[in-house]
């Protein structure tokens, strides 16, 4: 792991991009005796035959899910002039193909749970509180004193962790949202489900500058061209981690420094954060099969290849994912009221309320609500591209060395 130290987070000791399976495999002892090696080789041959059949069947399921979704989207174009109705129908009709795609990837069961209020350091919710995603979707527009504020007051935003294509598929299944991408040179842009799935197989931020410099501008365009009832989903990390941490949320500002991020007219600007007070939900995916399986000292076959995608070409990654029997995923939600209460508690203890501090508090909510996940201090989504290039180079050098 020493050769990847430059891409690690020095303050926490976390490697945010190195695959968990690789880290645990380094600590797994190889078979010692000749008999053990022969048995291991025989098991590998049987496993290869089984996994080839499994990959083929799951690819067919993915194809069926994609064709099903495309057909439904074409039929729903009839209602495109009525954005709110179109979204309601999409929420109902496009959920089954999204769930089928998750099933094909090996996510057989979806464990959905609200964030522990004790971890968020807030009061317990009422016993009859609705599910967090239901509370998010049922938000009504609050009264506003000005017409300009009312234009964005109905918008609602879901901030999500990002480690693989599971997050876009799951959020499409649960919310049927409008996805938003963050760009290398700062800013935001709208993105379809198919585009965000393609993006989730890449290793760089969206290229260039976003169509909207600030979140306020994006929300105004969303209200004007679509419907504020349609949820916006943003991945504030910008790109993927290995599923064990939350990266820095600096992607929306591109290469801006701390002083530039304090400005109120770019990125997650003050006007947008004020309008979204009480209208932000957060969701994070825990890859439980990676966190629980393949512990140090276990046989190498016990180390699963996980869903988080920071290395390997897209097709190779997909093949390895489909070859695993199952993947455990747990979706942890913080409802808008819980996010609002936690942010207010943090701001009160800090004694400062700038856009940067509010964003830091929102990130802290996500870190707190995901047990076993660490908040890194020095790495963001923009660093994944350099890590992936370095990983590919070192793996190639190791291959040539072993020949």
pLDDT tens per residue across all 403 residues of the chain: 677 888 898 888 899 999 988 877 665 555 555 555 555 555 566 677 778 999 999 999 999 999 999 999 999 999 999 999 999 999 999 999 999 999 999 999 999 999 999 999 999 999 899 999 999 999 887 665 555 455 556 899 999 999 999 999 999 999 999 999 999 999 999 999 999 999 999 999 999 999 999 999 999 999 998 888 999 999 999 999 999 999 999 877 665 555 554 454 568 999 999 999 999 999 999 998 887 654 444 444 456 889 999 999 999 999 999 999 999 999 999 999 999 999 999 999 998 888 899 999 999 999 999 999 999 998 999 999 999 999 999 888 775 555 5
Contact yes or no for 356/248 (Cβ under 8 A) = no
- What domain count does the chain have? 1
Rounded Cα–Cα distance for residues 157 and 234 (Å): 7
Q: If residue 270 lies in a helix (H) or strand (E), which one and from where to where?
A: helix 270-275
Give whole-number Cα distances, 83 to 172, 248, 265, 292, in Å. 16, 34, 28, 43
Q: What is the reported pTM?
A: 0.90
What angle do helix axes 336-350 and 355-369 make, rounded to 10 degrees?
A: 120
Residue ranges making up the domain that contains 363: 2-30+37-139+148-402
């Amino acid at each position: 792991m020493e050769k990847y130290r430059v891409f690690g987070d020095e303050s926490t000791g976390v490697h945010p991009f190195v695959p968990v399976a690789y880290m645990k495999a380094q600590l797994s002892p190889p078979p010692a005796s000749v008999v053990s090696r022969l048995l291991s080789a025989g098991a590998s041959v049987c496993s290869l035959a089984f996994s080839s059949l499994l990959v083929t069947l799951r690819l067919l399921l993915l194809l069926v899910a994609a064709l099903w979704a495309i057909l439904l989207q074409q039929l729903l174009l009839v209602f495109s002039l009525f954005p709110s109705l179109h979204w309601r129908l999409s929420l109902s009709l496009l959920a089954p193909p999204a769930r089928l795609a998750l099933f094909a990837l090996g996510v057989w069961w979806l464990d959905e749970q609200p964030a522990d209020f004790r971890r968020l350091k807030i009061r317990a919710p009422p016993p009859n509180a609705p599910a967090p995603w239901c509370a998010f979707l049922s938000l009504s527009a609050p009264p506003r004193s000005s017409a300009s504020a009312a234009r964005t007051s109905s918008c609602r935003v879901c901030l999500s962790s990002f480690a693989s294509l599971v997050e876009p598929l799951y959020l499409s299944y649960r919310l049927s949202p409008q996805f938003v991408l963050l760009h290398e040179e700062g800013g935001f842009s709208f993105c379809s489900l198919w585009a965000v799935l393609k993006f989730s197989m890449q290793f760089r931020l969206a290229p260039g500058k976003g169509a909207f410099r600030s979140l306020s501008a994006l929300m105004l365009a969303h209200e004007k061209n679509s419907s504020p009832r349609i949820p916006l989903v943003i991945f504030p990390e910008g790109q993927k981690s290995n599923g064990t941490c939350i990266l820095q949320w600096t992607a929306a500002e591109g290469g801006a420094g701390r002083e530039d991020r304090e400005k109120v007219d770019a990125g997650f600007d003050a006007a947008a954060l004020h309008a979204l007070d009480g209208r932000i939900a957060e969701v994070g995916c825990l890859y439980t099969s990676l966190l629980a399986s393949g512990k140090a000292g276990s046989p190498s076959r016990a180390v699963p290849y996980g869903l988080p995608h920071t290395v390997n070409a897209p097709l190779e990654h997909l093949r390895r994912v489909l070859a695993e029997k199952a993947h455990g995923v747990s979706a942890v939600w913080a409802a808008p009221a819980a996010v609002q209460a936690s942010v207010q508690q943090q701001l009160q203890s800090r004694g400062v309320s700038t856009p940067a501090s509010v964003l830091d508090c929102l990130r802290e909510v996500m870190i707190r609500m995901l047990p076993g996940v660490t908040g890194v201090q020095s790495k963001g989504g923009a660093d994944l591209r350099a890590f992936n290039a370095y990983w590919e180079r070192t793996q190639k050098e190791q291959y040539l060395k072993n020949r």
